[in-house]
Structures are given as structure tokens and as C-alpha cells.
Amino acid sequence: MTAAEASDAILQRLLSLHPKRIDLVLDRVQRLLDRLGHPERRIPPVIHVAGTNGKGSICAFLRAMLEGSGYSVHVYTSPHLVHFHERIRIAGRLISEEELSATLEECEIANASEPITFFEITTAAAFLAFSRHRADLSILEVGLGGRFDATNVIDPLAACITPVALDHQEFLGDSLAAIATEKAGIIKAGRQVILGPQDDEAKAVLMRRADQLGAPLYVFGEDFSGFAEHGRLVYQDSDGLLDLPPPKLPGRHQLANAATAIAALRRIGGRYAAESGIEWGLKNVEWPARMQRLTRGPLIDAAPEGAEVWLDGGHNPHGGAVVAQTMADFEERAPKPLYVICGMLKTKDAVGYLLPFRGIAKHATTIAIAGEQASLGAGALYDAARMAGLEASPADDLLDAMMQVSAWARARESEGSPRILICGSLYLAGQVLRDNS
């Protein structure tokens, strides 16, 4: 058995330790961490990142900027796209399959078959791995919510909270205020809080919680900002202005994400915010499936000649609006007809996600996400696309969808080579990256 097969076998066993995929309490993970000797207390200082959209991008910016300044960083993110070990990065490298297997097995033995969710026990494994390697900082992405998320057992240097929007309402509540209350759970007494752009309702909740805990607050649009000017990113706060290269990650939303990351580094201490490191990070940041341009593989071979193919894992109405805006910006700079290939989970607001593409996309082709039991069927998603006002058709799978797009593009050849967006789910994005490599 290879190391990858060994870790996969352990991960499969861990999935059976709790009947629910998500059960938001901290008791179980605290019990396991106690048995492991509290590794979460021995990891390098933490920047904790919560929010609805943009968490992963901010983690990616933070890592790139810190590594550009010569610091070593542990990073924990979720979910993974192709392989589980993508979630755990130790001092600049992904955890090896051998270390992952050994660490997971150690946690499994310490847990002694007691109920614990998959995310809880794998988060404990990440803490255990981090505690055994030197690094300057740790970056932790919240899995879901914040208050009862398994990562919320640490006392961070700072908490970043990205835009709060409606998502996971079945777990977090059905209003922005309720969801913001869950996200605010990562705010700790006296610790820095950096808020990305927020709706007024969510901002009020977050600011009130910071005030209650005496947590110094730094708010996008009030205490710091980031905006495009002459093809550059201009960052500004009370300490001054930085004239920076644009982020490598496309989309105007990434300007705010980059600014939030810069603000966090400047708040936790000037030594972490060297301008040279920030510039390096902006130029070199990588974050797969967030407006990622695909350039090779079977799907590209099946695409119309000269087509641009983009991949994005956003999956809620706020994410749909951001991606649609990015597509509109692309269209303004370089006009091409837009075709959407979409797959989504049953738990998501498909109509709300697709609505922003009305008037932007020529056609939406809907698919079920292969191997994902919670996927919407292609027919049900077609119905949602029609309700959103889009011309649409269902397809059997990704390759069939791309062939359909090719046919539509040939029928409208006079409009030029198309721009194709594959979107709607990180699960779909992972399938694309796995099968198209």
C-alpha cells in the first residue's frame, strides 16, 4: 500500500466516527486535543480567517506575502480540491502523505472510537503536525461559521473576517445578523480584528462584538482601503500609502482581499509587512479554482478553438455576483461571448447564484457533479437557470457540456471565439482539476 493509499484508508475510517458531517460544538475537539497534550497551544502565532467568501484567497495572500518577506508559515485551509493533504501546509510545503498518515493514525488512536466529526479530528491532526515543526506564523481558515468551528480553540494574534453573506443557513441562521454572530465568534478579547468589506447589517454585529471584547478593530473603507489606479493596487491606511502591483488573482474583489491581508500584516507588527514581501506576494500568489485560467487537458482539447476557459468554485449568491462582475469586467476589456457550465449542490441557492449572469451569459449548460450524492441534477439546475432568466440546456457530464458549448459557439461563429466559465461548486472545481490534469 502506498502512503497516499494509507492516508486515504484512514480518512475513510474517520468519516464513520460521527453520523453527521457537520455538528457544531467544541466539546469533542477539545477532548481530543487534551488527550494529545494540547498541540494547539504549541503552534506558532496565528492569524485566524473567517467569513463567507474570500477566506481562502486571504489565506493565500497572507502566505505569499509572508513567504516573500522570508518567513516560514503553517497554513490550514479547507476543503481540499483534489487531495486531502492540500489542507495542511507545513513551513512552505504540503504535508507528506507519510506524515499525514502517521498523524491521522495518532489522532485516531487517541480518540479511541468516540464520536467526533471528520473536520474536528482532521483539524486536531493539523494542529499536531504544526506543533512539531518550526515556523514564524500560522494561518488558520475557519471551516464553517466561527464560534463553534473546530479551529476556534486558539488565541490568535489577529482575526480577519471576510465579507459575510447568506450561505449554510441550515447551520448558521437565515439572516445576515445571525450568520455574522457566528463569524464574530472568532473575535478574542484584546486581539486585533480586521474586517473586509461588509454589508451594514453584518458590520454592526461584528463591530459590536469587537467593542464588547475590547478588541482593536480595523475596518475596510474606514481605517484602510485598496483600490485600482492606473493598473496598480493602491493601499492606504493611517500609516501611509503603498503603490503596489495588481494582484495575480483576477477580479476586482481580489483588491479588497489583498488589502485585508496587507492590513492584517501591518496590524500584527511592521516586521511582517515589508513592502518588498507584499509586492512579491501580490505577483506570485496562487489559489486554485478561484478564477483560474485553464490552458491544457481534455476539456481544453474539446473547447472551441481560441476559447478562454475559466474555473471558479464560488457557490452562493454573493459568490455568483462577484464572479459575474469579473466576467463583465473581462468583457469590457476584451469582448467575447460568455458561456457558463454550471454544477451545484442541492443545499445551495442555485437561482440566486445564477441571477447575476442574466444579460451577461449567452447560454448556461447545466450538469450534475459526478460522484457527489448531494449534487443537483442537471435537469433541476436547468430549471433554476431558466428561473434566473438564462437560456439553458442540460448535459450528461463535463465533456458533453463542453461539446454543447462548442456547438453553440459554432452556430454563433460571427460573435468570435467564446469565453467559457465552469462554476458553481468547489466539488465540481476539484473534479475538473483532477480529470483535466
Band (pLDDT 50/70/90 cuts) for residue 314 is: very high
Helices (H) and strands (E) in the chain, counts: 16, 17
pLDDT of 422 > 90? The answer is yes
Q: What is the pLDDT of residue 173?
A: 82
Q: Which residues sit opposite 209 in a β-bridge?
A: none
Q: What does the CA dihedral 314, 320, 322, 326 come to, rounded to 10 degrees?
A: 100
Instruction: Count CB-CB contacts under 10 A for residue 239.
Output: 11
Query: Is the Cβ–Cβ distance between 103 and 15 less than 8 Å?
Result: no
Q: What is the pLDDT of residue 165?
A: 87
Average pLDDT over residues 305-313: 95
Average pLDDT over residues 297-312: 93
- Whole-angstrom distance, CA of residue 63 vs CA of residue 66: 5
Q: What does the CA dihedral 394, 397, 400, 406 come to, rounded to 10 degrees?
A: 70
- Whole-angstrom distance, CA of residue 247 vs CA of residue 265: 16
Q: Which three cell numbers stand for residue 214?
A: 475590547
Q: What is the pLDDT of residue 66?
A: 98
pLDDT in tens, 59-97: 999 999 999 999 999 999 999 999 999 999 999 999 999
Report helix, strand or coil for 422: strand
pLDDT of 22 > 90? The answer is no
Average pLDDT over residues 155-179: 88
- The DSSP call for residue 49 is E
Q: Which residues sit opposite 394 in a β-bridge?
A: 366
| Range from 1-10, 171-180, 256-265 carrying the lowest mean pLDDT | 1-10
pLDDT in tens, 353-405: 999 999 999 999 999 999 999 999 999 999 999 999 999 999 999 999 999 99
- Whole-angstrom distance, CA of residue 224 vs CA of residue 363: 39
pLDDT of 298 > 80? The answer is yes
Q: What is the pLDDT of residue 234?
A: 98
Instruction: Count CB-CB contacts under 10 A for residue 431.
Output: 22
Q: Which domains does the chain show, CATH number per domain? A: 3-284 (3.40.1190.10), 292-435 (3.90.190.20)
Q: How far, in whole angstroms, is CA 55 from its chain's centroid?
A: 5
Query: Is the Cβ–Cβ distance between 357 and 386 less than 8 Å?
Result: no
Angle at 188 between CA 186 and CA 194, to 5 degrees: 70
- Whole-angstrom distance, CA of residue 49 vs CA of residue 21: 22
The whole-model pTM stands at 0.95
Q: What is the pLDDT of residue 245?
A: 98
pLDDT of 210 > 90? The answer is yes
Band (pLDDT 50/70/90 cuts) for residue 280 is: very high
Q: What is the pLDDT of residue 169?
A: 74
Instruction: Count CB-CB contacts under 10 A for residue 258.
Output: 29
Band (pLDDT 50/70/90 cuts) for residue 167 is: confident
Q: What does the CA dihedral 317, 193, 236, 256 come to, rounded to 10 degrees?
A: -20
Q: Which of 365, 291, 363, 297 is nearest to 330 (CA)?
A: 291
Kindly report the average pLDDT of the chain as a whole number. 95
> For residue 200, what are the contacts with CB-CB under 8 A and spacing of at least 6?
none
Report helix, strand or coil for 346: coil
pLDDT of 436 > 90? The answer is no
Q: What is the pLDDT of residue 5?
A: 82
Average pLDDT over residues 338-361: 97
Percentage of residues in the chain having pLDDT higher than 70: 100
β-bridge pairing 46-50 and 338-342: unpaired
